[in-house]
Structure formats: structure tokens, C-alpha cells
Structure 1
Amino acid sequence: MRYFEDLEVGAETYFGSYGVTREEVLEFARKYDPQPFHLSDEEAAKTHFGRIAASGWHTCAMVMGVIARHVVEDEQAGLGSPGIDELRWLKPVYPGDTLHVRGKIVEKRPSNSKPEIGSFRTETTVTNQDDVPVMRFTSIVLIRRRPN
């Protein structure tokens, strides 16, 4: 099990990759972000996207899946997250892209009010198969401290 004490500021992690499919882009858009440029080739062609693009929120969901699977496999003593800061969608994500998710720990703090937990901030960068950044955010993660 990895605890707060095992984390080092500056440490970088490759969380993994995710292949974006047209079917999944359309399914997510139909359910959660039914804007024409996420659903129609013709409508998307009339926009700056040029073709169907994944919703930014879908990109977030795909990235969360990659991170969560890694955290479970790594047996991190995580306790969830109170939020993220500075989320930016930098470039469109298209069906056929492969997303790569990397994070760097930029800060860690023990809790002042709950001595059994700590928190850390990770700058996460998502790139496509051409190593072009498509999304960036800073996450705040709660984690257990090592039991005495």
C-alpha cells in the first residue's frame, strides 16, 4: 500500500493510455453533451473542429478512468479528491486519438485537522499520440497517512 509518506514532490507518473473511439464519442455526446459538433460529421465540418470531436467532459471521464485504474493497481491509500484547479482543454480530441496521461506531484501537506490523512496536488497533462498536449489540470488528492 502506498501512503502519504511514500509520495515525493517532483515525482512523475505515467498513468497509462486510452484509445478514443467514434462509438464512445457519439454515445457520450448523446447522453451528456448533445451539441451538433459532437454528433454530426456535417455539423462538425462547419466548425473550427473540422470533424466530430469528443466532448471535453468526455475527455475528463476517459482520463479519470486511466488514473483510477492505475491508482487501484498501484494500491494507493487514496481517499478521493475535493476537486481540481485550472482545468484547460488545449486541443480537440478526435476519434482515433490515443490519450496518454502523465502527472507530477507539485505539493504535499499533512492535514492540520485530521492527522490520519494528508493531501497532495498533481499537475496532470494529457497528450495525444503525437505528443501534443490536449488537456491539463491540477488535481487535489486526499490520501491516508501510514498507520503507526
Structure 2
Amino acid sequence: MTTRLWLEDIKIGTTLCTGSHTVTTDEIVSFAAQYDPQPFHLSEASAADTFFGGLAASGWHTAAITMRLLVTSGLPIAHGIIGARMELVWPTPTRPGDELHVELLVTDVTPAPSLTAPGFVTTEHSTLNQAGKLRQRTKARIVVFNKPPG
């Protein structure tokens, strides 16, 4: 089992790289049909003459994959990854066959005001495909607790 990290365990400059996830056409279409049913997410044919010029995953799908990678192989924060604020950018579309992974950097650690209140960790992370193309850039402020006494 992975050791869970508390606020005092996390340092500015900490980096990590998650495992990876390969995105399939079926997964893109299924996610879009349920959550973002726009033509450029639903089929190659309907996406061909759009801004994307082909099937593109919803940005929200890319965000969901990023979250899964962070939870399953990213920063193992005690009590889970609890978001307080986030900036999200999708500079290029996620495509079928992309093998995504996340590279994360801790840029700030704000101490908790008391032992019972949480502190915050700010991260910048990039979701990249197998060719190093940036699919999503995120800056997140995460709630992190102090280790309980004892």
C-alpha cells in the first residue's frame, strides 16, 4: 500500500509522473454521448468538417482521465484529492489512440492556520500524450490536512 501524504510531508518542488491511459474511440464517444453530446465528440464522420477536423475527446473527458491518473498513480494525499480552486486549459484536443500521462509539480504549500484546519497545496500539472503533446494544463489548489497527533 502506498504511504499517504499529509500536509507536512509535501514540499515545494516535488515532482511526479503518473501512469498512463490509452484513449479509445469507443470511450470518447461513450463519454460524449452521456456528458458532452457535440458532433465533434460523437463520431469521425460528424467531426470531419468541424473546427477539430476529426474526432476529439471532450475537454471534460480529458479532465476526468487526468483526475483518475492523479488518484490512482499520482500524489497520494491522505483523505484524497480535494479541490479548492482550479484553472484548466486545453491547448490541443485529445484524440483516439492518445496515451495520456500527467506530470505534476508542487509550486506552493500553505500551512494550516491550526491543527484542525486544512492547509493548501498548489500544483501545476500537464496532461501529455505519448509524443509529448500537451492536451491539458492545470493549476490546482488542493485541500490537505495535517497529520493527526499520535
| Fold-level similarity (TM above 0.5) | yes
Aligned to 1:39: 42
Cα gap change, 1:75 to 1:45, in 2 (>3 Å): closer
Cα distance in 2 between the residues matched to 1:38 and 1:67 = 24
Kindly state the Cα deviation for residue 59 of structure 1 after the two structures are TM-superposed. Answer: 0.5
Aligned to 1:141: 142
Aligned to 2:111: 110
Cα distance in 1 between the residues matched to 2:144 and 2:85 = 15
Kindly state the Cα deviation for residue 16 of structure 1 after the two structures are TM-superposed. Answer: 1.8
**TM value normalised by structure 1:** 0.89
Runs of 4+ in 1 over 6 A off after TM superposition: none
Cα distance in 1 between the residues matched to 2:52 and 2:139 = 25
What amino acid is aligned across from residue 50 of structure 1 in structure 2?
G
Unaligned runs of 5+ in 2: none
**TM value normalised by structure 2:** 0.88
* Paired residue total: 145
Aligned to 1:64: 67
Identical amino acids, percent of aligned pairs? 36
Q: Is the Cα contact below 8 Å between 2:112 and 2:146 reproduced in 1?
A: no
Aligned to 1:81: 82
Instruction: State how 1:86-97 maps to structure 2 within 5 Å.
Output: 86-97=87-98
Cα distance in 1 between the residues matched to 2:111 and 2:87 = 23
Cα distance in 2 between the residues matched to 1:84 and 1:50 = 32
Cα distance in 2 between the residues matched to 1:96 and 1:69 = 21
